[in-house]
């Protein structure tokens, strides 16, 4: 049995909410998804294949509830859409996001380099950090290659 799903089910039960079939389907979509930063529309597409009766409004309400229950983390990557990722111990490691400003892809990287900064903040300012997010904006490797090819083509065209 899927231990992640079981842990999340238990957290819902502990907070006195029912795990309806629709909520379980939406939760399972996050567990199964290859892409870990899903917007409501992404969830809708994944869920429609399994449960065509679940509407987009239900997905939005469920995402809000799961965020409130701390099952999901809401993320803002500056593209005008909220994205969500599981907030489970299995996924709770500190990780940071690399966001391509050209194609919008988001990649995670794990490096706890901010722990040093957190300990300095704790000592100097008597502030205990419980979470942090680092978002780095730039160009992914694919987009860099495309831009380079476009620049070379443009330069060749001007040279003619």
Within the chain, residue ranges assigned H as helices are 3-14, 21-32, 40-48, 56-68, 114-125, 141-159
Please tell me whether 140 is known to bind a ligand: yes
Cα atoms in the Cβ-side hemisphere of radius 13 Å centred on 135 = 12
Please tell me whether 105 is known to bind a ligand: no
User: Is the Cβ–Cβ distance between 22 and 29 less than 8 Å?
Assistant: no
| Among 62, 65, 64, CA closest to 46 | 62
11 C-beta neighbours (distance < 10 Å), count: 17
Annotated binding residues for Fe cation, written as ranges, equal 115, 132
| Residues of each annotated binding site | 100, 103, 115, 132, 140, 143
Binding residue positions for Zn(2+): 100, 103, 140, 143
């Amino acid at each position: 049995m899927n231990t992640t799903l079981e842990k999340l089910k238990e957290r819902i039960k502990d907070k006195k909410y029912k795990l309806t079939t629709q909520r379980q389907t939406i939760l399972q979509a996050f567990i199964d998804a290859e892409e870990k930063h899903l917007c409501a529309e992404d969830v809708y597409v994944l869920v429609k294949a399994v449960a065509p009766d679940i509407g987009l409004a239900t997905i939005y309400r469920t995402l809000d509830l799961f965020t409130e229950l701390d099952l999901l983390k809401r993320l803002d990557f500056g593209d005008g859409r909220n994205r969500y990722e599981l907030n489970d111990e299995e996924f709770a490691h500190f990780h940071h996001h690399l966001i391509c400003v050209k194609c919008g892809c988001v990649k995670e990287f794990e490096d706890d380099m901010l722990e040093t900064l957190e300990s300095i903040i704790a000592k100097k300012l008597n502030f205990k950090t419980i979470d942090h997010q680092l978002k780095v904006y730039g160009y992914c490797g694919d987009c860099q290659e495309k831009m380079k090819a476009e620049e070379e083509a443009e330069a060749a065209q001007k040279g003619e």
